[in-house]
Amino acid sequence: MGETVGYEVKEGIAVLAIRNPPVNAVGADVRKGLAEGLRRGIADPQVAAIVILGAGRTFPAGSDMREFGETPADPWLPGLCNEIEACPKPVVAAIHGTALGGGFELALSAHYRIASERARIGFPEVTLGILPGAGGTQRAPRLAGAADSLDLMLSGRPIGVTRKEAAPYIDQIVHGDLETEAIAFARGLLAQGKGPRPTRDCRKGFDDPAAYQRAITLRKEVVADRPDRAPGEIVKCVEAAELLSFDMGMAFERAAFEDCVRSDQAASLRHVFFAERRAAKFPELDGARPRRVAQVGIVGGGTAGRGLVLACLEAEFDVVLIERNGPALRDSLGKINAYLDRQVAQGRLRGQLRDERMMRIHGKTDFVALSEADLVIEAVADDLREKEQVFYQLDAVVPEGAVLVTTTMRHDVSRIAKQTGDPGSVLGLGIGTPAHLQRVAEVIVPSEASADAVAALVGVLRQIRKIPVRVGGATAHIGRAMADACRHAAELMVEDGTTPYLVDEAMRAYGMAMGPFERLDRDGLREDWALRRAMAERGAPEGRQVAILDRLCEAGRFGKAAGKGYYIYDSESPQGRKDPEVIALIRAERESKGIQAQGISADEIQRRCLAAMVNEGARLLRLGVARCPSDIDVVMVHGYGFPRWRGGPMKAADLIGPRIIQRDIESFAAQDGVFWSPEPVFDSLFKAGQGFDALNA
Ligand code: 3HC
């Protein structure tokens, strides 16, 4: 037997211990080891029962996803689960850590399940574009009925085993050493004369057929509009569990699983799962000796600063918040307090925790209060002079080796760092607002930055549960550059004949959380306008310029906060409504340039926006701003509303074919030859017969 599954007989019980760190994923070796261990236990006359458990930190957290997309080696997990269930001796699954997906299915095929009190169970498959494919859709409803088992499968969220929804799956919660408890449990079964109890024979979940059907009908309605396919398939499989025999239900589930696992959606969602983990592996972390961060300073208590404060408090840091004067400080602290109060009122936070958090904020108006801060994040307005002033002041007060972080979106981090005596300790941070609700954070690493500083910031970001993404250089942000490229393609299309509303509609239909013009309105147009004017003063920018945004700003339309931008916002339409004035303004602009309006289809809009993003992504890779294509995907999925099930723009390009995207870019060149010029990487990928994924290695 391979070493991935240990076999030991203790007190007449065979203990099969899965050893496949870090998460005991059920890959080919584990399946083979379990099958061999099971057969050995069945054949051994000294063995009266079998226990399956995970060595190390967890019961298996799922099938090994790296095998998906390939033909799995024998034995397959569904077959192995059936073999476990058919075992003539009782089989006990002893769960700790996270028994997820294929791991949970393995446990469901055992005859009994015990679990450590902190263990969690669940079916995260739906988040990967697939469904439980080893009998989960057939066994779980037999134990728990349709409603609860579907909620587990459709949400994808694991639940604690002590929750009441987990009760149908778990025979006993144990508190001591799991292996000892499992052996005692198995011996107890034998003493009581209890034998195998196949889940396939359980009818408890079907006790109330009308309730079962109601749950199916309701979930069918709920998932009908979802763009991903797996949820609908899950509901159908659970329906089949009651209507078909167990074996036919298993065959039904297998066919649905095979369809889903081979789909582009599943490939994209798997890509994002691994991309998130790859992103967090910064080269600077190897061998770095980062400063331990206990106290974080935040300068600026506006929306950005407050979000950072909340995120740091949640991760139990002490926080010093600096505001420019007493009233501003009181206002900011009041808003933080009000937010935490709302959390308490909604039952999301215990009152005691709110009090503890408020006690950990130290609001001050004097930078001297930062004399013990290990890491300070500046979150003042994105004005270069103001930021330089802050860093000049910080340099005088923070302890030696403290890490200083700027949230500038547009300015050179190295230039800001020059205000300090230790530029190697200065980094940039790109994070959306409100920061405590964001998943991704771009870490801008100028060439002079020290590895220790990077490691300290990455450590803090991990603690506040962000996915850090490395951005090389001192001036760029991945997400911002990608959004700008998409926006320029969209502006060209509007000037050529379509409307901002049709562009936004088409991009939402593609799956984006919002269209480029809705995003502009939300972020405010003023800053872009100022930047464009500054650039124009430095000389005419290259390529075709679209001045519609300038015309809107000249008319006082600065975006959502101003009540109007591309859309109008009022109490009747807080989300914004179309405005004929904007259409007239665009028409006038077009006429002034002698452009004949031409309609552009939704499909064409989507192609152009995607091509613009992919070409920009390729440029960011060439410049070393982005380390790999999947980092770009992570930023776009988590920070810019790109549909996760499309995997991000670079993955989407691979699925379409980079050569096709390149041809698109070439064909758009008539509109703006400078902008629509394909990056050299397209040719090299084509010659090597590769996609962008090859650059993720
Ligand atoms: N397959 C392959 N690798 C996996 C994996 C899996 N199912 N789950 C985790 N890993 C890898 C990660 O990629 C990571 O690798 P790395 O160190 O090389 O980057 C390593 O294990 C550790 O993972 P995390 O960094 O995510 O560790 P955490 O402690 O933060 O989280 C976890 C642990 C909660 C178990 C999390 O890894 C997780 O959610 N895993 C996925 C669980 C899942 O989706 N299971 C279902 C799989 S599909 C399935 O089972 C189909 C079946 O129905 C047939």
Average pLDDT over residues 299-320: 96
Q: For residue 25, give every residue at least 6 positions away whose Cβ sits within 8 Å of its Cβ, in sequence order, or none.
A: 60, 61, 62, 63, 64, 65, 103
Mean pLDDT rounded to a whole number for the chain? 96
Helices and strands (H, E) in the chain, number of each type: 26, 17
Write down the pLDDT at residue 410.
Answer: 84
pTM attached to this predicted model: 0.93
Q: How far is the CA of 311 from the centre of ligand 1 (A)?
A: 25
The whole-angstrom distance between residue 501's C-alpha and the CA centroid of its chain comes to 28
Pairing of strands 426-430, 440-445: antiparallel
| Confidence band of 539 (pLDDT split at 50, 70, 90) | confident
Q: CA-CA distance, 251 to 309, in Å (whole number)?
A: 52
The DSSP output letter for 112 is E
Q: Give yes or no for residue 2 having a pLDDT over 60.
A: no
What one-letter code names the amino acid at 152?
Answer: L
- Using CB distances shorter than 6 Å, the residues near ligand 1 are 22-23, 25, 61-66, 77, 98, 100-102, 105, 124-125, 128, 132-134, 136, 274, 277
Question: Could you tell me if 424 and 446 are in contact, meaning their C-beta atoms sit under 8 angstroms apart?
Answer: no
Q: How far is the CA of 280 from the centre of ligand 1 (A)?
A: 15
pLDDT digits (tens, 9 = 90+) for 37-82: 999 999 999 999 999 999 999 999 999 999 987 787 899 999 999 9
The residues that are catalytic are 105, 125
Residue given tokens 């801008």 in the structure block: 444
Q: CA-CA distance, 26 to 644, in Å (whole number)?
A: 25
The DSSP output letter for 471 is E
pLDDT digits (tens, 9 = 90+) for 365-403: 999 999 999 999 999 998 899 999 999 999 999 999 999
- Do you find a cis peptide bond into 90, omega within 30 degrees of 0? no
Most informative mutation of 4, 20, 23 for ligand 1 (most atoms within 8 A of CB): 23
What one-letter code names the amino acid at 437?
Answer: L
State the virtual CA torsion across 416, 422, 424, 429 in degrees, nearest 10: -40
| Confidence band of 121 (pLDDT split at 50, 70, 90) | very high
pLDDT digits (tens, 9 = 90+) for 223-235: 998 888 999 999 9
Tallying the residues shown for the chain, one arrives at: 697
Q: CA-CA distance, 563 to 241, in Å (whole number)?
A: 53
Mark residue 347 as left, alpha or beta (left: phi above 0; alpha: psi -120 to 50; beta: remaining): left
Residue given tokens 């980094």 in the structure block: 427
Take atom 54 of ligand 1 and give the residue whose Cα is closest: 133
Write down the pLDDT at residue 531.
Answer: 83
Q: How far is the CA of 25 from the centre of ligand 1 (A)?
A: 7
